[in-house]
Structure 1
Amino acid sequence: MNITGRLTRNAEVRTLSNEKQVVNFSVAVNDSYRNKQGERVEQTTYFDCAYWITANVARLLTKGTLVELTGRVSPRAWVNKEGEAKAGLNFHTSQIKLHGGGNRAETVQATAQSESNGFTTEGTEDDLPF
């Protein structure tokens, strides 16, 4: 599955007890449609994202950055301190494409063989109309 949205906060790196690192960040995806009355309705969906492949990507993931993510979605539910039931969406990210200014984009992908910096960055040109 692919989603495109903006980071709502800077990425954070967490180190687990087994010394494995995970990059956590949040993305807002905006959508709009017209209802039966012809009114434009805007809707925002928030995803809590996790990227396990390399922690080095965290420095590129800053608040407001437009990203295209590939991965899988899973729901989560919990009860907060006040006893209220809550729900959210997790996005287990396998590929991150950063969309910068102009037509330039960078792709961060996992590779079968580790490179010195842990991830690859490829510059590509997009023909997107926006």
Structure 2
Amino acid sequence: MEITGRIVKDATVFKVKQNREVVNFSIAVNDSYKPKGSTEIKKIVTYIDCSYWLSAGLAQWLRKGTLVQLFGRIGLNVYIGNDAQAHGSLTFHTSDIKILVFAEGKNSAPATALKKQEVSENPDDLPF
């Protein structure tokens, strides 16, 4: 399954059993539709909780406002609460993340991502 959205707050890393780490973050997915018989377009936002288990180092890139394309599967967590009622939540278990657009603003991406090599516009100035 594939979803695309913007990260709503900086990702967090949690340590779990046996020295494993999980990166948790949430994204907002924007959608729109036109109700039957109406000329007005309705916009809706769906918030999706996500987890990524493969590399905690990726968390530094997952900052608020970053546009990401995620691949993975949906997981359902069900439990009985203190109120003796059943509760549940959906989590998108991410297996691959593509960063489409970094967040704007100061310190929005690691410095290594911002470095660019300059290329001469004159082909005669090439070093080979």
Q: So what's the TM-score if we normalise by structure 2?
A: 0.69
User: In structure 1, how many angstroms separate the alpha carbons of the residues matched to 2:95 and 2:83?
Assistant: 34
Is 2:63 the counterpart of 1:62?
yes
Higher strand share: 1
On the 8 A contact 1:5/1:27 being kept in 2, the answer is: yes
On the 8 A contact 1:8/1:27 being kept in 2, the answer is: yes
After TM superposition, the runs of 4+ consecutive aligned structure 1 residues lying more than 6 A away are 79-85
Higher helix share: 2
What is the aligned-residue identity percentage?
Answer: 45
How much does 1:81 deviate? 7.3
| Match in the other structure for 2:12 | 12
Q: So what's the TM-score if we normalise by structure 1?
A: 0.68
The amino acid across from 2:58 in the alignment is V
The amino acid across from 2:20 in the alignment is K
User: In structure 1, how many angstroms separate the alpha carbons of the residues matched to 2:31 and 2:88?
Assistant: 20
* Count of residues in Structure 1 that have an aligned counterpart in Structure 2: 101
User: In structure 1, how many angstroms separate the alpha carbons of the residues matched to 2:58 and 2:44?
Assistant: 29
Gaps of 5+ in 1: 102-130
Is 2:31 the counterpart of 1:31?
yes
**Cα 1:20–1:68 shift into 2, 3 Å:** same
The amino acid across from 2:101 in the alignment is G
Give the secondary structure class of the aligned counterpart of 1:64. Answer: coil
Gaps of 5+ in 2: 103-128
Superposition CA RMSD, Å: 2.1
Map 1:1-130 → 2, pairs under 5 A: 1-38=1-38, 39-77=40-78, 87-100=88-101
Structure with greater Cα Rg: 2
